[in-house]
A and B are shown apart, each in its own frame.
Chain A
Amino acid sequence: MRKLLFILALILVVSSFSQELVVYTYSSFASGIAQKVIPIFEKQYNVKVKLLSFGDAGNVLARMILEKDQPKADVVVGLDQPLLRKAISEELLMQFVPESISKVKDRSLLDPQGYGTPYDFGAIALVYNTEKITNPPKSFRDLLDKRFARKLVVQDPRTSSTGLSFLLWTIAVFGEDGFLDYWKSLRTSILTITPGWDEAFSMLETGEADIMVSYATDGAYSYHEYGSLKYLPVVMEEGAFVQIEYAAIVKGTKNVEMAKKFLEFLLSESFQSEVPLNQWMYPVIEIELPEAYRYASKIEKVLPFDYDLFDRNGKKWLEEWAKVMIAK
């Protein structure tokens, strides 16, 4: 009898274990939107979701690479296009396309290889101090104008994902052969290069710099949080550079069914409706945007970007960029 009880208890323990879904993600997802929507998912499927975050998405993927032989996560949330490709080429993910993907109207958001499920997207923009700049730059060429000399602060693409996106944006506009020349000319407009977004923003706040590289939804954010329209975004007329965030199932998980349900959930209305005011990104399904989004830049023309090229040459681009910009 006692033995039986023991075995029963063991089965209970084991089965309750499998009812735990381990999700790897970045910090702001875990302490932001997840707090609102994860309880809904847990209730809906009677499952416990264990969220683990390791700073930014790069850290998340680094950990997955290190844990490759014994993966601990069932689902990973937050890989953008380059990180998703890296994860695929490291064979860390399982192919899966949720049924609800049909709700995603813009087909260019989908992962052509069928691993990642897009759940939100945003665009890089230049954000300027409206009190100091009345005539903001409209295009990349415009940004080279004398009136912006030493006014712009950018993030180092070698240390910041925002900075990397901006670098890729210039490559999308000027091509592999032209972007370095553009950066050479841009040097006169750049005041300094910061290691991350935070430092750049503090420069805008203290009146040190007047323009920084940031996101298209920044105007909406500052209007919503502070009722302020002091800093407004502008997307260059050459076209927007879109950053898409994906979630995917981790290869080797024993929780495949629950993981699939989780990805379906990310495309549900209960999740997507929380995206605009928590992630400050655009939802991927048709949902009415909150009022604050009047002050987000419209993304009209999206620049195509060939990530195959990034896979092959990304390292070279960064090293060459450093050679042009640094330590002369």
Chain B
Amino acid sequence: MRKPLFLSLVPTVFVGAFLIYPLILLVVRFPQIDLLRVLSMNSSVVRFTVFQALLSALLTMFLGIPGAYLVARTRLPTAIKSLVKSASMVPFVLPGISMAVGFLLTFGNNGLLNTLLSVFNIKVRILYTFTAVLIGHVFYNFPLFIRIVGDAFERIDKAILEMASLEGVSKFKRFWYIELPLVLPAIGSAFALSFLYCFTSFAVVLILGGIKYSTIEVSIYMYLKVLLDFESALALTFVQMIFVALASFIFLTLSARTGEFSGETLKERHPKWAYLYVVAVVFFVFLPLFMSSLGGFLRYGGSFTFQNFKGLFSQTVEWIIGADVKSIIFFSLILSALASVIVCTIGLITSYISVRHNNLISVLTNLPISISPATMAFGMILFTLLPLPVKLGAIYTLISLPLAHSSLQNLWRNLPREIEEAGKIDGCGALQSLFFITLPIFKKELLGIFTFSMAIALGEITATVILSEGRFTTVSVATYKLFSTRHIGEAQALNSILMWIVLLLFFVAEHFTERPSR
């Protein structure tokens, strides 16, 4: 890995060919872009988008950092930690409708919360307020902090902290002056990512916010899909791209200081607030998640039933989807696994370059966040040379790349150069050093990213439906077909199955890679 220039060609060519080039094709096809008109018509939407994203990211940060600390540094039982780490990733990859059902069943009128509170004759209305939007965003972006910041906490050398304690430094001071500066770059990455994801949020804001709230992404969707006004959609896409590039750049410069530290992790007794924290997380993250997995049991009319699952494997459903459910699940798993291998490979390269050479590449890897899957898909239609699976695979890869990149950055930051150098002295080539030194150290995180991108690919629906031509069926296309022919129950059953698969993937990945406690 000594030739950064040559190496950086790989991600640049990938993003260039599969993200920028299709976009250029669209611009060439629709050149009359009137940025000013579109901006003035959407000025209030742009303002609100920035405001809610900042607030959401801040709130996620305040809730996320303690969580990251708990998972990384305390002696809470491993099973609980793996559950927190794995289950918290699931919302991120859930289709919007599952999330909506989860929130309705938890916080809604007849939801779990109100059923429990009705004993005391209290009724609360959380949904359809700005608070609901914020809760929704915390629910979604929370795992970013657990993963990225948690990892940084884990890698603070025990020796430093113990030394500080010997000198009689209070826990608070130790946190403020030693730990916080050390994990700051990771906090920066996580904050940047959750800001960007909230910035381009779509379903959460519409469903949970009620009237009054909307983001740029919704306007893009309107121009693109309802008005077929590609010019205006492209203009707003550029606005989003500029914001995302600018935001990534700012966060990069803020969190650019990198340090290297390694050694053993200090494991402490969990503080008292841990209980309170776990309760809050269960309430806001796991409860809606659990309830949304029950969506599949919802009978037409509202009561609970197993019928939907029976129906899912019936002849009628096979006929609607055009294939049987089992083979579709199998096929989807293969395609998404392939895309995930590419995500890991490119993510390894970009994160290496960003940490060891030039951090600017992070602006490039964050760009996919700013371009909606629908825009990507329409651009890909113009890219006629590519076969369909490649188009889909490329889009899946692009969607997961920002998170893969940020998660891996930490590992490179914390990988002592001495190890690599020792390898070199012993005559280890670049490839050897990659396979025998780096990859084994990164194994855990890579597996996490692999499962994450697999889940994203499995759940991606917009671009897949546009490109699949209806003949190339994945789980998400099947769900779409069921919803559109009004087989709501069966569609939600399939969504629930998807969710369990994803949960299982995360849990297995987490379990297999949990390092033995020392």
Contact = CB atoms under 8 A, between A and B. Distances in A.
Interface residues on B, range: 35 or more
Nearest to A218: B486
B213 A226 contact: no
Contacts of A225: 300, 486
B206 A193 contact: yes
B485 interface: yes
Contacts, number: 189
Interface string B206-217: 111111111000
B219 A322 contact: yes
Nearest to B487: A225
A195 B203 contact: yes
Contacts of A315: 227, 229, 232
Contacts of B207: 192, 194-195, 199
B104 to A, nearest CB: 4
Contacts of B225: 56, 58-59, 62, 159
Given A53-B469, A327-B44, A202 B104 contact: yes
Interface stretch (A109-117, A171-179, A203-211): A203-211
Contact of A207 (B100, B110, B483): B110
Interface stretch (A5-13, A25-33, A260-268, A292-300): A25-33
A275 B484 CA distance: 16
B203 A55 contact: no
A144 interface: no
A138 interface: no
A203 B468 CA distance: 29
Nearest to A32: B485
Interface stretch (A63-71, A97-105, A236-244, A245-253): A63-71
B226 A31 contact: no
Nearest to B479: A198
B481 A328 contact: no
Given A192-B207, A315-B227, A327-B45, A208 B212 contact: no
B290 interface: no
A62 B378 contact: yes
A161 B300 contact: no
B341 interface: no
A28 B484 contact: yes
Interface string B460-472: 0000011111110
A206 B484 contact: no
A208 B107 CA distance: 10
A198 B485 CA distance: 11
A228 B488 CA distance: 15
B100 to A, nearest CB: 5
B466 A54 contact: yes
B328 interface: no
B108 interface: yes
Given A59-B225, A192-B207, A195-B207, A52 B469 contact: yes
B425 interface: no
B472 to A, nearest CB: 10
Given A55-B465, A59-B466, A159-B218, A326 B203 contact: no
Contacts of B298: 202, 205-206
A26 B483 CA distance: 13
B274 to A, nearest CB: 33
Interface residues of A, number: 61
Given A32-B320, A192-B128, A325 B104 contact: no
A26 B484 CA distance: 9
Contacts of B329: none
B321 A31 contact: yes
A191 B210 contact: yes
A256 interface: no
B55 to A, nearest CB: 14
A190 interface: yes
Given A66-B378, A202-B101, A326-B45, A191 B128 contact: yes
Nearest to A207: B110
A20 B229 CA distance: 32
B40 to A, nearest CB: 10
Contacts of B48: 326-327
A224 to B, nearest CB: 11
Contacts of A66: 29, 378, 381-382
26 contacts: A31-B320, A31-B321, A31-B484, A32-B320, A53-B469, A56-B484, A58-B225, A59-B465, A61-B228, A157-B226, A158-B226, A159-B221, A190-B211, A192-B128, A192-B207, A193-B206, A194-B100, A194-B207, A198-B488, A199-B96, A206-B105, A225-B300, A322-B42, A326-B212, A326-B214, A327-B44
Given A58-B225, A205-B488, A319-B41, 14 more contacts: A27-B470, A27-B485, A31-B321, A35-B320, A53-B469, A66-B29, A192-B207, A195-B207, A198-B488, A199-B96, A206-B101, A226-B300, A327-B44, A327-B48
Interface of B: 29, 41-42, 44-45, 47-48, 96-97, 100-101, 104-105, 108-111, 127-128, 202-203, 206-214, 218-219, 221-222, 224-230, 232, 295, 298, 300-302, 319-322, 378, 381-382, 465-471, 480-481, 483-486, 488, 491
Interface of A: 26-28, 30-32, 35, 51-56, 58-59, 61-63, 65-67, 86, 156-159, 161, 164, 187, 190-195, 198-199, 201-203, 205-208, 221-222, 225-226, 228, 230, 280, 314-315, 318-319, 322-323, 325-328
Q: Which 5 A-B pairs have the closest CB atoms?
A: A53-B470, A158-B222, A28-B484, A55-B465, A327-B48
